[in-house]
């Protein structure tokens, strides 16, 4: 009995050892599987995290690129609108930046409110644009100050990629025989750069103007003046970037980031897009697309006179003023005021037309 019991105990112990070894093997296999799964999951997690980081970085990068490619603020129409309500300071109409390759929003037609609007597409490397501004710029500034907000100027900086021709000014008046026996010679045109250097400078100068419109919009008109005044001082390559920075600083621009914006040509891509849009179509009924600069639109109508004829330009401005006054009167149901003789005649430099009682002051221009 005892022998049999001892034998059974041995058999039972051996079976338990076998069972224990099997259980241990199963546990080891389970732990290996768990470790393998953890390792795989860790790798998958790392991969997912890396992909998420890369995706996030890609989104950030795309956002940064999109932000860098936006147009300048305050130029949603591809131009900046300037007016003056106090007769002294210039104020720009603010707006959000235009997205890359976005569709500009044309400025509202304010004629029914009695506002005379001038829109100028100007190329800062173009002699004809410079001649227009040299002849009419001071008068336009005077109109802005004298109009109490009833006259606006919208500047569209463009860079025409075609060759630029030298501008020939109007011939000098032939003196009478009593004054001189030899007539004065007609001024010779100054040689201008054509497509290569001229286009490059036009892009950089327009980008400079956009930098100012973005960061210091109320100084845009002063910088526009300075850019055209500088055109007579440079050669075929235009001003350098450092000279452009100095120019805007001298014009009173102190906005942070403007110098870096100018040196990096930040808005050249936008200038190309805005110019392409203008050469395709402009938002004025009956006005052809931009072909050559300058393109001047007064009260919705193209100015077709000579760029250096102040009298012709003043005449069309006064006509637009009368049309705006009539539109405002029709909208309000009040009679159209009759302007005084001094308002309808071509004004001389520094003269300000005296409006009749109850009339909005008529803008005046320097000759």
The closest of 124, 266, 270, 267 to 198, measured between CA atoms, is 124
Here the tokens at position 336 are 């159209």
Q: What are the C-alpha distances in Å from 323 to residues 138, 283, 326? A: 23, 19, 5
Query: pLDDT at position 56, please?
Result: 59
Helix, strand counts (H, E) of the chain: 9, 6
The answer for residues whose C-beta is within 8 angstroms of residue 52's C-beta and 6 or more apart is none
C-alpha span between 85 and 239 (Å, rounded):
34
Print pLDDT tens along the chain (367 aa).
565 656 656 667 777 778 778 788 888 888 888 888 888 888 777 777 767 666 655 544 454 555 568 999 999 999 999 999 999 999 999 999 999 999 999 999 999 999 999 999 999 999 999 999 999 999 999 999 999 999 999 999 999 987 565 566 655 444 444 433 333 333 333 443 344 678 999 999 999 999 999 999 999 999 999 999 998 887 677 999 999 999 999 999 999 999 999 999 999 999 999 999 999 999 999 999 999 999 999 999 999 999 999 999 999 999 999 999 998 888 877 665 544 443 333 333 343 333 333 444 444 444 3
Here the tokens at position 288 are 């052809």
C-alpha span between 46 and 52 (Å, rounded):
10
Query: pLDDT at position 114, please?
Result: 95
The closest of 62, 67, 72 to 270, measured between CA atoms, is 72
């Amino acid at each position: 009995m005892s022998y049999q019991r001892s034998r059974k105990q041995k058999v039972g112990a051996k079976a338990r050892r076998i069972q224990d070894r099997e259980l241990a093997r199963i546990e080891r296999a389970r732990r290996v599987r768990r470790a393998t799964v953890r390792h795989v999951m860790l790798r998958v997690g790392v991969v997912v995290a890396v992909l998420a980081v890369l995706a996030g970085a890609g989104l950030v990068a795309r956002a940064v690129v999109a932000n860098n490619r936006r147009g300048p603020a305050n130029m949603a129409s591809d131009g900046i609108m300037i007016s003056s309500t106090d007769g002294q300071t210039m104020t720009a109409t603010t707006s959000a930046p235009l997205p890359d390759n976005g569709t500009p929003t044309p400025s509202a037609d304010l004629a029914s409110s009695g506002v005379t609007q001038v829109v100028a597409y100007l190329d800062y490397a173009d002699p004809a644009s410079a001649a227009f501004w040299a002849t009419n710029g001071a008068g336009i500034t005077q109109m802005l100050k004298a109009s109490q907000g009833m006259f606006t100027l919208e500047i569209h900086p463009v860079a025409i990629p075609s060759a630029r021709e030298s501008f020939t000014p109007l011939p000098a008046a032939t003196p009478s025989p009593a004054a001189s026996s030899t007539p004065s010679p007609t001024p010779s045109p100054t040689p201008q750069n054509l497509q290569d250097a001229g286009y490059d400078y036009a892009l950089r100068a327009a980008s400079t103007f956009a930098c100012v419109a973005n960061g210091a919009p109320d100084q845009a008109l002063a910088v526009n003046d300075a850019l055209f005044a500088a055109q007579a001082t440079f050669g075929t390559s235009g001003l350098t970037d450092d000279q452009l920075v100095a120019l805007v600083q001298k014009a009173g621009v102190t906005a942070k980031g403007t110098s870096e914006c100018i040196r990096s040509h930040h808005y050249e891509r936008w200038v190309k897009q805005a110019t392409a849009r203008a050469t395709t179509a402009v938002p004025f009924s009956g006005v052809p697309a931009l072909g050559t600069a300058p393109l001047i639109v007064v009260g919705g109508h193209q100015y077709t006179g000579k760029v250096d004829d102040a009298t012709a330009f003043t005449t069309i401005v006064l006509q637009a003023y009368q049309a705006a006054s009539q539109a405002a009167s029709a909208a309000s149901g009040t009679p159209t005021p009759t302007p005084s003789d001094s308002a309808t005649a071509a004004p001389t430099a520094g003269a300000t037309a005296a409006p009749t009682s109850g009339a909005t002051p008529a803008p005046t221009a320097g000759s």
